[in-house]
Chains A and B, each alone.
Chain A
Amino acid sequence: MINLRGTWAIYKQEVSRAWRAVFGTIVSPVLTTSLYFIVFGSAIGGQMQAVGGVNYGAFIVPGLLMLTLLSESTSNASFGIYMPRFTGSIYELLSAPVGVTETLIGFVGAAATKSLILAAIILATATVFVDYTIAHPILAIGYIMLVAASFSLLGFILGIWAEGFEKLQMIPMLVLMPLTFLGGTFYSIDMLAEPWRSVALFNPIVYLVNGLRWTFYGSSDVNILVSVGSTFAFLALCVVVIAVIFKTGWRLRN
């Protein structure tokens, strides 16, 4: 029997921790995305032609949303599990009647919740700067949830792997950030010349950005099924890695 109260306690604790740091969790990403919209959407976007029939300002909305979603989901979850290790309060989690299921649902659920709230706020912010529509709203929400959960899982793994704050931020800074920028956040990869277009297809973020873009505008650079399929595969991979971590106690139990 899984410990439902325990799961809820972890979830609640993590969400309340986010509220305490409301500036970092909500205000700063909103500010950052607003700046992107002002610079790329309004200032530069005014000079850009429509991409695939979509106005440039609207075109970048899903990409920007993905940018925030990836970095916030990852960092929320990684901090969530790293902090108890750092402060020593992890002893309680390890000695409590909670296992991998409770811990994952609690931490990843909370991280994903924060990301979803953030996504909603960003979409609301976007309406201030650009006009956009969402062709498949239900699918968009579903896809946002899928990505938030997947990258919260990735963050969880990073938070267990990291042995210092530097390592904690290494992957998001050195891997996720560049890949997202190069992953068609601000452009369609069809705008690239060969061989760069083919190279871009090796960037997994391209599939994420395009998957979300498809739910917004009904068209994308890559097949939507490939996007969704690979996101699910990534989620499954993360779950397996975490299950192994818990089974072996790696970095958690001596």
Chain B
Amino acid sequence: MQDNLTYEGVFMTTDKDKVKRVKLKAASKLNQIMADYFYELDAAAKAKEPKIAWCTSVGPAEILRAMGFLVFFPENHGAMLGASRMATDLLPIADAQGYSPEICSYLRADIGAYLSKTTPIAKSYKGIEGVPRPDVLAFNTNQCRDVQDWFTWYAKKLDVPVIGIHTHRGVGKVTQNHIDSIATQLKDLIKPLEYISGNKFDLDKLKQVVALSKECSILWKKVLDTARNVPSPFTFFDGTIHMGPAVVLRGTQQANDFYQLLLNELEERVTNNIAAVPHEQHRIYWDGMPVWGRLRDHSELFSDLNANVLASTYCNSWIFSAFDPDDPFNSMARAYTELFIVRSDDFKETYIKEMLNAFKVDGIIYHDAKCCPNNSNASYGMPQRLERATGVPSITINADLNDLRLISDEQTKTNVEAFIEQLEENQS
């Protein structure tokens, strides 16, 4: 029997009988709004209106939406390529174009897919033949420089304008200078976007979108925070699936309606003491990206050991607490700059410490993704420092978000089993 699941906003067809995770009722609503999202984009691409913008996952989606663009997110496409396990065959195609096997495996899978004229979207949505052609490419180097290279490649290939924001990295305290520079860059996008879209910028419209985005952000945080309960009604793996709308539909009412629905269901689970992982014994924090092609395997690996991976740095990346509709440019600048991935190690450590406390975490898994040092925090001694400071033990899994050739399933399994065994023995 076939079922649709969504990964970072993209659907995958899966064998339902193999799914062990306690399924959330909201998933069917998720399926529907995500399908609508892709069909709307496809229709726009075919009709050549409204205009389509490709955007990096963090932003500046709000501005693009306010200017009337429909927004497509190549990173989601990258995740979908990973989840469908198509990536592994497509990566070498991009490598042969001169991309190092050490750089972003979203970028390489996506470019490989473009060159091979294939996409999992077409496989999951009848009638859609390819990714929607962009009218503009807007990046934000918030997470890495790879996105700039990625978008620039498409700009040349498709002869489409590319615009972008260059963010600060390793930010400790967020200062007014940071805000000013990003806010200025955001404002500088308006003119070219007016020209490309043919629409006049409307500040009130932007305020509305930012208000919707803020609400989405608040609801998504509440959803994730339900995992503070013991037992937790939600898992990290659920999070990676259900964060779809927070990524691709942030700034729309549909996203907010969905999260309200999901939140209600999770709160109901809390009231009725329903655990996402039956017999939850160990509460685990996941740092780094998911291994998209192993999401289900990993989910089952942990749940079989009565361990719930229930909090993560990754799912929290779509919480933009600073959004303020009354001050959209400055607050967007602040929200984008306050994100975990942009910050210094000191900040990151304090952040994770607070998460460990709030979610009553017993152990941490660091996913050291070969192709994304930006989302990996195990390379500069952080696991050791945090362990010393908190006493919460950790292990590091060497893998990748998309490149399954870099993964040893047996190694992962033994590491995780030995880690949970260690937690168990030390608890007793």
A and B pair up: no
